[in-house]
Amino acid sequence: MKDLLQIDGARLWQSLMDMAKIGATQKGGVRRLALTDEDARGRDLFAQWCRDAGMTVSVDEIGNLFARREGMRRDAAPVLIGSHLDTQPEGGRFDGVYGVLAALELVHALNDADIATEKPIEIVSWTNEEGARFTPAMLGSAVFTGVTSMHEALAKKDADGVTLADALAQSGYRGSRAVTGQAVDAYFEAHIEQGPVLEANGTTIGVVTGGQAIRWLDVTVTGVAAHAGTTPMPYRKDAFFAAAQMAGELERIVEAYAPRGLVTIGQVGIANASRNTIAGCVTFTVDLRHHDDNEIDAMERDLREAFARVADARGVQVTIETYWRSPATPFDAGCVALVADAVDALGYSNERIVSGAGHDAIHLARYCPTAMVFIPCVDGLSHNEAEDALPEDVTRGANVLLHAVLARAGVAVTENAQ
């Protein structure tokens, strides 16, 4: 391990802390929603750092930001590495940004060691990964890989009615680089785990083998709005009590799919809500997750049958629409092996892990060979201002990324080395 090239951990940590100042919150977190002024400032800083490292910067039509370090084979497809700079409304200092700045530190390490690669290396910061401002999440990588059309993505609106197209224009990050049809040799992404498994197991590195299936459903329960003081309980068609019973059914259903089945109700709304009016219409979201596509299909079937029973018993109507689905996605065996080889060479403890969260790597895995590197996060917290990671874990993850990418990009043999 002593003879292996290593990144500068102090430099990487300082870049993370400097970036965290942009959109910093009072509780130590970050608020950099996609294509806001804060996001643009973060992008500007990152782009300048890349130029300072001798890279060329470009932006595509959906706002994905690329920084290129040329390889000896200029016509070769690049090895792509990165993540995102946007955050949740009350996000942390590491989610996404770690993958972007670990990639930049990788380039610094190659520059410091005067190492040329056969293939070009490109760092990418994807647009709107979080989905906190525009939904669904991972829009930039979805357009890049052809999962979502450019027209559909540009028409997405935030809570204030601002379209993605307008936000791109206002931020100055609607570029001219073509967004689709780009050749990519492979994609690597480093990320905090966003869960407690690695820390609980005392494991340094998660070698990610793929992403689990995710399904988002929108549920509408329609009853009858009526006066809270004049309608006896037996005569009510209360949409909220029906929705509450459905939520209880979800907890019962997911027990049959333990430990890999997960269900979350993240948003709930009562139409025309009033303190003394029986809820006539309730909407809520359901997030289903499982490692296996057949199992998540079965979870959804159980959900639909249970909700129908509740609605029938209570005399209300229920409609369920699929908002978004992402199938279980295995990563490329060859790229996963490169990550595993790097971990072994560096002597870090590791375990195979399936990503519970959605990442841009999920879209890229259907487009080109892909792998991810996970590091622990303190107490498993993410999407939280208290999100944290240890400097030594940040360094080790970047070292793994460095050697996995270098193995894929290839060390060029120059005339001076011959």
Give CA–CA dist 151/135, Å, rounded. Answer: 14
CA 42 centroid distance within chain: 18
Helix or strand holding residue 304 (H, E)? helix 293-314
What secondary structure letter does DSSP report for 130? S
Q: How large is the C-alpha radius of gyration of the chain?
A: 23
Sort 45 into a burial class: Cβ within 10 Å, 0-12 / 13-18 / 19+. Answer: middle
Phi and psi dihedrals of 192, rounded to 5?
Answer: -70, 150
The per-residue DSSP string of 136-184 comes to SS-HHHHHHTTSS-HHHHHT-B-TTS-BHHHHHHHHT----B--S----
C-alpha distances in angstroms, 184 versus 180, 337, 360, 406?
11, 19, 14, 15
CB 42 within 8 A of CB 180: no
Give CA–CA dist 36/170, Å, rounded. Answer: 8
Give CA–CA dist 416/411, Å, rounded. Answer: 14
Give CA–CA dist 259/34, Å, rounded. Answer: 33
Peptide bond into 78 cis (omega under 30): no
In the annotated binding site, the residues are 84, 95, 130, 191, 383
**110, two tokens:** 């190659």
CB 90 within 8 A of CB 384: yes
If one counts every other C-beta atom within 10 angstroms of the C-beta of residue 180, the result is 13
In the annotated binding site for Zn(2+), the residues are 84, 95, 130, 191, 383
Give CA–CA dist 74/183, Å, rounded. Answer: 13
User: Taken in order 238, 240, 242, 244, is the CA torsion positive or negative?
Assistant: negative
If one counts every other C-beta atom within 10 angstroms of the C-beta of residue 352, the result is 11
